[in-house]
Amino acid sequence: MIHYLQDGSISIGFMVKSAFFKRLKTIVSVIQDLYNGEVKGYQISGSQNQDLILRTLKKAINSNEDLSKLLIHSDQGILYQSPKYRNYLKKASFTQSMSAKGNAYDNAVVESFFRTLKCETVYLQKVKSLSDLIRSIDEYIYWYNHERIKLTLGGYSPIQYRLMNQ
């Protein structure tokens, strides 16, 4: 969900981030909507590379929405600074935003999501294989978006909140 200010500028954007699951040597790349915390797209891979980031971004984008002023925020990781990634954002008319050097607070929303994801799936369920991890993440993100209530959203799930405020 994108909200525009009266002057036409954007007030909400997406945050992109990847997390490494050490024991299973797996990267999960996520794009989270800063409006309601909804996970808009995610990809799971054995390696972090440019294609993983771009696949995640493409999966999160709804072609029916006008996203010409969308703000995409990330940390200063090498993949988010690459010409290929920057050109993709530029062609899509997205505005790139990056954390200040050494300022982890800029990424607090998505970092919190990854902490919660790991605590509520991997650590609780004692995931043993890659297929278990993928299934757990798929199920968790569906539950997170559709059923898991957030106090910051008035006790609604991210999707319930978005649907109520359309």
pLDDT average per 10 residues of sequence, the chain (166 residues) = 42 65 82 90 88 89 74 84 91 83 76 88 80 90 96 95 89
CATH number of the CATH domain containing 153: 3.30.420.10
Q: 70 near 95, Cβ under 8 Å?
A: yes
In three-state form (DSSP H/G/I as H, E/B as E, the rest C), the secondary structure along 56-69 is: HHHHHCCCCCCCCC
- pLDDT value of position 42: 92
Is 6 within a domain? Answer: no
- pLDDT value of position 9: 41
Is 88 within a domain? Answer: yes
- pLDDT value of position 155: 97
Is 4 within a domain? Answer: no
Is 2 within a domain? Answer: no
Is 5 within a domain? Answer: no
Is 23 within a domain? Answer: yes
Q: Nearest CA to 114 among 135, 140, 143?
A: 140
Cα dihedral sign for 37, 43, 48, 51? negative
- pLDDT value of position 13: 64
Is 136 within a domain? Answer: yes
- pTM here is 0.84
- pLDDT value of position 3: 42
Q: 11 near 3, Cβ under 8 Å?
A: yes
| Cβ-count burial 121-141 (b if 16+ within 10 Å, e if not) | bbeeeebeeeeebeebbeebb
For the chain, the domain total comes to 1
State the residue range of the domain holding 74: 14-164
Cα dihedral sign for 154, 155, 161, 163? negative
Is 8 within a domain? Answer: no
